[in-house]
Amino acid sequence: MTETTGGQLPYIYADNAATTPLSKRALDEMMPYLTTSFGNPGGIHRVAKEAACALGEARARIARQLGAAAEEIYFTSGGSESDMWAIQGATLRYRDRYGAEAPACLITSSIEHHAVLHACRAMERFGARTTVLPVDRQGHVRPDDLRIALEAARTEARRAGCEAPGCALVSIMLANNEIGTIEDIPELARIAHEYGIPFHTDAVQAVGHIPVDVHELGIDALSLSAHKFHGPRGVGALYLKDGFSIPALIEGGGQERGERSGTENLAGIVGMAAALEECRDRLVERMGRITSLRDRLVSKLQDAVPDIYYTGDPVRRLPSIASFAIHDVDGELLVVLLDRSGVAAATGSACSTGSTEPSHVISAIGITDRRWSHGSLRLSLADDIRAEDIDMLCERVTRCIERARRISGTM
């Protein structure tokens, strides 16, 4: 959680939703495959077979943590690639099944990560259109809204004289990366399946932080990324339920059972398996402890700072994420001040063409007043967070908010 360098006060890293430090266990398991065990899993000699064995074991280890079968796990470069593959693959699968002229939509939500939103938009080149569902004030997708969208898609297909369902895929994230809200994926997936539509969830923020079982969720596809749960960067996975087949992402040497060619990142995959197992150990106990400390942080900040709004579902949310909209504060300025005060944090604002615009997530949950929407702050806590870290964090955040308001008032 903290480190001290150069005689300065401890630096508090509270941006774990962006990335997490690599665990020692993951690094230790990776080292042989970065050094002596360097074989290519695709060969037939003993060095290659050793690598192939390690690859198979890592696949089985990851599958067990998700309640999946080993043959349902495909390795990728990370969450964005997994999202793109699921969305593109489902679109092409739909075209192959119903024809290029059949109306097709992709249904997603207004608070998805851009990896999903941009992937859906990219499918316009294949004739698909995107239906973006609204969310409530806490960031929940309403089941009735999904049902209405599915009905509309089916009706459009019928009007076009097609027997197609009108929708290629529903993609709703399991937990939001900015406000931490956890969606009711089992219910949403159940509704999609009533209409014969496959369901994908971006679980990048959830895996390793809350229990995730693909059968309990009732989904057809799931994306994850290792660096969100103390694994290495540049490696992730896509779960594809047995029977839900989509076209290959990369043609070539036939790796990943012909679905995603290219020599596997064996060291990264082994590290991902180790990190996921480590995170799942005593997960419920860790969730309870982090939730308690997060709630302490939220309570202290709400008592200390006027005009601060806690965003997302206050209960059904990721344990580690505390997110706020703060009145009369520029989010980017606040993050800079926090960094100078020894805190790594994040804001939902993004700089585009020279002007700072509020996060699409903040806008989607109904915070549209610029004096509120530009002041988003996300504090995502480490697994080893301590009570004294919370107190120190609250003190620094409070002081920086006060300073940011004074600076904004003089500009």
Instruction: Give the catalytic positions in this structure.
Output: 351
In DSSP terms, which residues pair with 109 in a beta bridge? 133
CA–CA distance from 113 to each of 177, 187, 224, 225, 260 (Å)? 7, 21, 13, 13, 23
Amino acid code (one letter) for 396 = R
- 351's tokens: 């700089």
Q: Which residues contact 389 (CB under 8 A, 6 or more apart)?
A: 1, 2, 12
18 burial (CB, 10 Å; 0-12 / 13-18 / 19+) is middle
Report yes or no: 251 and 98 within 8 Å, Cβ to Cβ. Answer: no
CA gyration radius, the chain: 22
In DSSP terms, which residues pair with 186 in a beta bridge? none
Report yes or no: 278 and 369 within 8 Å, Cβ to Cβ. Answer: no
- 312's tokens: 């997302």
CA distance 356 to 283: 38
**How would you list the strands of the sheet with 236-240, edge to edge?**
73-76, 236-240, 221-225, 199-202, 167-171, 105-109, 129-133
In DSSP terms, which residues pair with 170 in a beta bridge? 107, 199
CA neighbor of 171 nearest in space, from 138, 203, 139: 203
CA distance 59 to 238: 11
DSSP letter, residue 228: G
Q: At what angle do helices 185-194 and 143-159 cross, to 10 degrees?
A: 20
